[in-house]
Amino acid sequence: MKVDFKFVPSKYKNTNILNKTIYFMHIPKSGGTTIDHIFLKLFSILKDYHFKRFKYSDGVKKNKLLINEIDISKKYFISGHLDHDFCSNLDNIYKCSIVRDPISRVISHYKFMVFKLSSTPEKYTFEMFINNEVKNNRDNLITRHFAGLLNEKKNILDQDSKQALKNMNSFDLIYTLENWDKFLANLLSKFGLPSILYSRFQQHQYNFSYSPKEHHLNLIKKYYYYDFIIYSKILEFKNQYKTGNEDEYSKKICVVSPYLKTENKLYNEQGIKNLFEKQNAI
């Protein structure tokens, strides 16, 4: 299996470094698993932030982070498939998220479910998948995240879409998946963090093939109608990250990959060269 590594520079100015807890709203199949692994690794090295990933459960309120779950005197990177207002009862929060085109997101999710069920597209059809998603109130999933309606047993209506669009304004940073690296570079730079050399997580080698048919695309357009509205709005955002001088970036580099064993430390460029030479010699 070929593994592609990408370098994302952190270009920060010492006078502009943010000092906030970060809330990353992780929308499924939008590159969030790699984001989680990057910041988990970063803060296991730096020790100045604490990584916390939450799931809905009886012990975690739907849209409120329980104070006894964290030490509010410390800074956190909080992540999870959660609503937009999960950290609304905390102060000094930086909210961010990545959103994927609804068609590619749903297709990616379907293929992952076929893989997870050890099935095939012939046995677990796309129609079955969509029916299950609608039945479990996971249609318009992007809208549900921004509207605060995850796990709610209700149909998404026009007023919910309008509320989701309004709630988007509370976010400090929203990028599309196509600009994933820019999202990461922006976040690293704003918080004065090291640069990153990474390869993606959750890259599955499927033993089946699937190409969406026209009526499959029509199902997505029907049952994820409001997600297209959200995505179109996000495309209008002017999240332009200026890289500046190519030489002005943090030379301290965190290496994050499921395919490369690394020490729990930051590397310089020579250290990375030695790391790959050692890996190739094994």
CATH number of the domain that 111 lies in?
3.40.50
Range of the domain at 38: 6-281
Q: How many domains does the chain have?
A: 1
Q: Is residue 1 part of a domain?
A: no
> The whole model's pTM is what?
0.92
SS3 category, 109: helix
In a domain, 176, yes or no: yes
What CA–CA distance (Å, rounded) separates 160 from 147?
Answer: 6
Q: How far apart are the first and last CA of the chain?
A: 16
Q: Indicate whether 78 belongs to any domain.
A: yes
Tens of pLDDT along the chain (282 residues) come to: 577 899 999 987 766 889 999 999 999 999 999 999 999 999 999 999 999 998 765 455 554 555 566 777 789 999 999 999 988 878 889 999 999 999 999 999 999 999 999 999 999 999 999 999 999 999 999 999 999 998 889 999 999 999 999 999 999 999 999 999 999 999 999 999 999 999 998 777 889 999 999 999 999 999 999 999 999 999 987 665 555 555 688 999 999 999 888 999 999 999 999 988 887 755
Kindly state whether residue 55 falls inside one of the protein's structural domains: yes
Q: Per the domain annotation, does 255 fall within a domain?
A: yes
How far does Cα 136 stand from its chain's mean position? Answer: 22
- Rounded CA separation 143/83 (Å): 10
pLDDT of residue 58: 44
| 57 is a domain residue | yes
